[in-house]
Structure 1
Amino acid sequence: MQKSIIKRGIKPTVSLLIQLFFCIPVVFSQPYHSYDTVILKDLTSGFIKEKFTVKLTFDKLPLFHPYWIKPGEELFIDLIGGDIRSLIKEKYPLNVPGLKEVKVKYYPGYEPREGKVGKVDGIILTMWKGQRYQIVPEDNSLKIIFIGIRRPSQEPKRKEEAKLPQEFSFTPAHKIGPEDKEKWQEAIMGWKKLLEIGVENYRPLQVAKEQYELAQLKLREARRGFFPTAVVRVINTDGKTVEGVDIFSKTYELEFEQPITYGGELRYKVKQAKVNMELARLEYRRLYQDF
């Protein structure tokens, strides 16, 4: 397997777990490195006003002419193993010579696939100012990708830029296999647990939840007026006469009440209670999404 481009001594300065999904279809034959342009979108701040040059590491040779990247700030994406399909086509209306669009679809699992499929170690993107790109997802399926931003320690000379990547000093990329999947799953479950703890300790969210529960109780209270009510009374009487005789008596009283009409008052109370409960629910959801 060909080495991926990762410079020695350079560690990511920014790292995060995000969910991305790319798409595409190519023809492959031996280990090779290829470069082209990819479209990206920042899930938190909208469109990224950058130009990205992408480097794909295949286990087979794509039948197209590669472009060699220039030095700059690099964005490394590790696909955590798996298969990809790729299609190279012209990017319009970019109107920039030598730039094309690459859409990458990530397939989970390690089972063999038929057709034009190659294994990928990773993707390296070099960011340049001046253009606007975005990711174009083909469906709602999302996969977890590790991303880190790193900057080269120094700019290579102009004559070195024309050389092939194999002539630079690079360390092999770490290829994540099936044995590493459990570690990633444990990390994801730990992140979910931290999120649950954060939700439980976020006071505004807890207040909104209590207000929603109170609105539910008020709705049940408003509906109670439509049903008959019953009042039970127990009266105990005891005493003693002049002759010293004890007197004791117990009386039970049961009273039923069924309202015939309140002129629509109860119906509007129930309707208002439903509205208040829905508002409380929406406020809780808003705070949860903001959190």
Structure 2
Amino acid sequence: MRNHTSLTRFILLGLTEDPQLQILIFIFLLITYMLSVSGNLTIIILTLVDSHLKTAMYFFLQNFSFLELSFTSACIPRFLYSISTGDRAITYNACACQLFFTYLFGITDFFLLATMSYDRYIAICKPLHYMTIMNPRVCKRLIFCCWVTTLLIMLPPLSLGLNLEFCDSNVIDHFVCDANPLLKISCSDTWFVEQIIIVCCVLTFIMTLVCVVLSYVYIIRTILRFPTSQQRKKAFSTCSSHIIVVSITYGSCIFIYVKPSAKDEMAINKGVSILTTSISPMLNPFIYTLRNKQVKQAFNDLVKRFILLSKN
């Protein structure tokens, strides 16, 4: 997308034209967004202040919560503003920024989930060496690699996308600035850009999924060798939250790219986008906290600390 394009504003169609349904959507998204912000912020604060949550697992969880919070904040507040004011226009630069950050946080999510699966592999398959292998220095390097790899994958389609021209329609059939509807209204030849995007998406998906699957193959093999059912149950419980989050993330991604009919494609993509941008970031903190005794204990300790401070 170039600054000298003849179009300087886009119109986001949103999800529906029905005023009553828009009110319900606004209430629903506002509640889910508030829960998402409060839940993810709580996890970030807990992992920062509680000394029991200073392990690699919670360091990755802290970064994952930051990504989820950033991802939903890049999409939902702008849409809530659009519904509440009726102003569907978005400037060219704002649209480009939203597109960049949603993809940046979304793709980094995949690499971080793969890193978290490797962390679980080390914890279960090599428990005696866990603290040595997953030391703070290694953890920070892994997080750095997640961000750098994402930027390197985004660079080719981004550089090509900056050269797209928009000279006819400025109506985007979505509630956020997304690559697919933007390519549809461009008056440039988008075939090569589309192929590059597909290659980058498939590369990201395959790389991270292979890492996740291999990690859990070794994890399951190790767990099945444990002598007692109690040990097996405890080991599975340490991975259960991560497995649920991975299933939601990869499941929604697969659902988008299993091509439906052209007529239903955009409607389905919008529905899945609501799941990934609003519902998933809200659910993930609860999935991790409700299934994790250490996080629940840290939360209770933090609440007690606040109560004591308020009394004093």
TM normalised by structure 2 equals: 0.23
**Greater RCO structure (CA 8 Å; 6+ sep):** 2
Greater CA radius of gyration, 1 or 2? Answer: 1
TM normalised by structure 1 equals: 0.25
Higher helix content, 1 or 2: 2
